[in-house]
């Protein structure tokens, strides 16, 4: 069965600057001409299996044609938006993902915002193939960090450990709002066929609310396409 994975010529593009650091977030609505084709692929051909990383659910490989089209379209935007050298693009990873863990099964680290990489040249791209939940950005209250390098992460983790030792563990729930450790600085609602791109070094988390179906069926659950591109800084 053929799948039309071409980009919509009428895609709507905007850039938002978030937080005290004014981190750029690229938002593209109506990204694919036929987004249902990608859902059909995920439902009929993608071999989902439990994530071996910290993702709280199942993952599957993306079709090459989707990733190639994304590079062609987003590549030229990356330089101006994120200050990277477009011709150095390197595909670090790509996969479909569906959240399936109930809150009580979350590992401690899955209850807190995180970064994907310490390198500001790593750009995370998230394509919503659902209308469930979304993605939010955060500031660590004690330090003011909104993005992290390795040294800052070690400092932050030390403070988090101290806080938990004195005040108790964070409840087993998805990060959906501010809490005593982190302040939410922005949120992006999941909208079918919306794509967002951001530096992987910023503190962020998916948010999962009461309306999110923790169902492994790609046609029912919180299905996303996730791509990670690494660039040299401009």
Rounded to 5, what percent of the chain is helix, strand, coil? Answer: 25, 30, 45
Residue with tokens 């998805």: 174
pLDDT at residue 227, rounded to an integer: 96
**Greatest C-alpha distance within the chain:** 57
pLDDT at residue 210, rounded to an integer: 83
Per residue in 134-155, pLDDT (tens digit) is 999 999 999 999 999 999 999 9
User: Does the pLDDT of residue 1 top 80, yes or no?
Assistant: no
User: Does the pLDDT of residue 24 top 90, yes or no?
Assistant: yes
Per residue in 149-199, pLDDT (tens digit) is 999 999 999 999 999 999 999 999 999 889 999 999 999 999 999 999 999
75 pLDDT band, cuts 50/70/90, is confident
User: Does the pLDDT of residue 10 top 90, yes or no?
Assistant: no
Q: Is the pTM of this model over 0.85?
A: yes
Cα of 34 vs its chain's centroid, Å: 22
* Helix/strand/coil for 162: helix
pLDDT at residue 183, rounded to an integer: 97
User: Does the pLDDT of residue 73 top 90, yes or no?
Assistant: no
Domain ranges in the chain are 12-230
pLDDT at residue 195, rounded to an integer: 98
Class for the domain spanning 12-230: mainly beta
Per residue in 198-232, pLDDT (tens digit) is 999 999 999 998 889 999 999 999 999 999 999 99
């Amino acid at each position: 069965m053929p799948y039309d994975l071409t980009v919509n010529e009428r895609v709507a593009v905007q850039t938002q600057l978030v937080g005290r650091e004014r981190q750029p977030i690229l938002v593209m609505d109506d990204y694919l001409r036929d987004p249902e084709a990608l859902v059909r692929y995920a439902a009929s051909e993608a071999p989902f299996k439990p994530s071996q990383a910290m993702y709280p659910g199942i993952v599957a490989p993306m079709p090459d044609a989707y990733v190639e089209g994304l590079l062609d379209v987003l590549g030229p935007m990356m330089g101006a938006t994120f200050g990277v050298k477009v011709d150095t693009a390197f595909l670090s990873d790509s996969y479909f993902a569906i959240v399936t863990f109930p809150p009580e099964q979350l590992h401690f680290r899955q209850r807190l915002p995180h970064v994907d990489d310490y390198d500001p040249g790593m750009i995370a791209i998230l394509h919503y193939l659902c209308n469930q939940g979304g993605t939010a950005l955060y500031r660590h209250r004690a330090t003011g960090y909104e993005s992290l390098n390795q040294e800052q992460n070690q400092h932050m983790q030390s403070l988090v450990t101290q806080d938990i030792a004195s005040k108790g563990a964070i409840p087993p729930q998805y990060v959906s709002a501010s809490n005593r450790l982190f302040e939410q600085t922005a949120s992006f609602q999941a909208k079918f066929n919306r794509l967002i791109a951001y530096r992987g070094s910023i503190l962020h988390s998916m948010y999962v609310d009461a309306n999110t179906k923790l169902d492994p069926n790609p046609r029912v659950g919180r299905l996303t396409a996730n791509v990670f591109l690494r660039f040299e800084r401009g």
